Structure 1
Amino acid sequence: MLNEEENQKYEVWLRGPIAGIPALLQPAAHALLQTSEEIKKYTVNICPEQLWLQPHGRASIAFHLQHITGVLDRMITYSKGKSLNESQFEFLRAEGKEDRTITIAHLIEDFDGQLDEALAYFKTLSEDVLKEGRTVGRKKLPSTVIGLLFHSAEHSQRHTGQMLVTASIVKSAQKN
């Protein structure tokens, strides 16, 4: 058994199961926890001026962080068989709109709060529920509980990868 310090050297999926999470949701939980670790790692020393930069027309660091938080919230809502509420639509409309009062710490805190809610929700689910059909959006596109939860995880990893490229570009531009 590895101690905590040794354990942190490995990606989350190599650290073993997360207590209380159904086996079929372990990969999604691992990916979401990996997202949390990576956004903290790759946004070290990002100053407020860099947060909203869009190098080469790409999405800003702030957009990616807002978007992964919002998508996680929306996918959880759909997985519960619910429709989005007005505050979720407002959050969606605000994603990526520059707001200099928002800090990197605030964005990370928002994601981690949503992550905590998601993991707590995962723990309430039985594996039988995961195959149940759900719909997405106003068009009621078909999915399943597990499909929605998996999408929230893979989507967060995709945007984390895009965010780290943007962060490396804005950091290297600052050095030049």
Structure 2
Amino acid sequence: MAKITTPTEPEYWLRGPIEGISSFLQPAAHALLQSRMELSLYTVNFPDNLLWEKPSGCASVGFHMQHLTGVLDRIMTYAQNRSLSEQQFQYLKQEGQPNSSITVSGLVSKFDKKVEEALLLFKQLPESELTMARTVGRKKLPSTVLGLLFHAAEHSQRHIGQMLVTIRVL
């Protein structure tokens, strides 16, 4: 496997505002873009046959990649005040389940698309909705639109970091 390198451009939060996105959502948008860039960078030469390996019992790279996409999808659903669909529950059940038909490039592509959907949602959200109450999961735990979108961004960054450690071990 090739050595993991660092990008030559600054991190997204140092590149200035993203046009059309509220200043309140800029940090979340930057974090999602950073996650997308790092996912592509860290997995560029990662072999498909190692996707489901769990060194020392750690979560597999495949799990982290699926989970990044799944969580972002679910959080956006909650932010839009909708319930999860049966398809989303099925995806959740399959996160981390070894599947030889799944590829690194396919997982990267799915996350790319989900980040684009999130950024489109960010652009369409009026600032007046950011503090609106939302609930999470079957227990209807309390949050807000802003809280959900911030969590999606920080959660993505956390899993990218965990995934990077697993990649380095493998």
Q: TM-score, normalised by structure 1?
A: 0.91
Q: Matches of 1:109 and 1:42 in 2, distance apart?
A: 14
1:98 corresponds to 2:98: yes
Give the structure 2 partner of residue 133 of structure 1: 133
Q: Matches of 1:158 and 1:9 in 2, distance apart?
A: 21
Query: Which structure has more helix as a fraction of its residues?
Result: 1
Give the structure 1 partner of residue 4 of structure 2: none
Q: Matches of 1:92 and 1:45 in 2, distance apart?
A: 26
Query: Match for 1:36: what amino acid?
Result: R
Give the structure 1 partner of residue 167 of structure 2: 167
Give the structure 2 partner of residue 124 of structure 1: 124
**Residue 114 of structure 1: how far off its partner (Å):** 0.5
Q: Matches of 2:98 and 2:51 in 1, distance apart?
A: 9
Give the structure 2 partner of residue 144 of structure 1: 144
Q: Matches of 1:8 and 1:72 in 2, distance apart?
A: 27
Give the structure 1 partner of residue 9 of structure 2: 9
Q: Which 5+ residue runs of structure 2 have no aligned equivalent?
A: 1-6
Q: Matches of 1:112 and 1:41 in 2, distance apart?
A: 13
Q: Would you say how many aligned residue pairs link Structure 1 and Structure 2?
A: 164
Q: Matches of 2:44 and 2:166 in 1, distance apart?
A: 13
SS for the counterpart of 2:143 is strand
Give the structure 1 partner of residue 67 of structure 2: 67
Q: Matches of 1:9 and 1:125 in 2, distance apart?
A: 29
Over 2 Å off, 4+ runs = none
Let me know the Cα RMSD of the aligned residues. 1.0
The percent identity for this pair of structures is 57
- Worse-matched range after superposition: 134-143 or 42-51: 42-51
Q: Matches of 2:139 and 2:23 in 1, distance apart?
A: 31
Q: Which 5+ residue runs of structure 1 have no aligned equivalent?
A: 1-6, 171-176
Which of the pair has more CA radius of gyration? 1
Q: Structure 1, residues 92-123: CA drift from partner, whole Å, max 9, x if none?
A: 00000000110000000000011111100100
Give the structure 2 partner of residue 78 of structure 1: 78
**Residue 50 of structure 1: how far off its partner (Å):** 1.2
Q: Matches of 1:144 and 1:8 in 2, distance apart?
A: 36
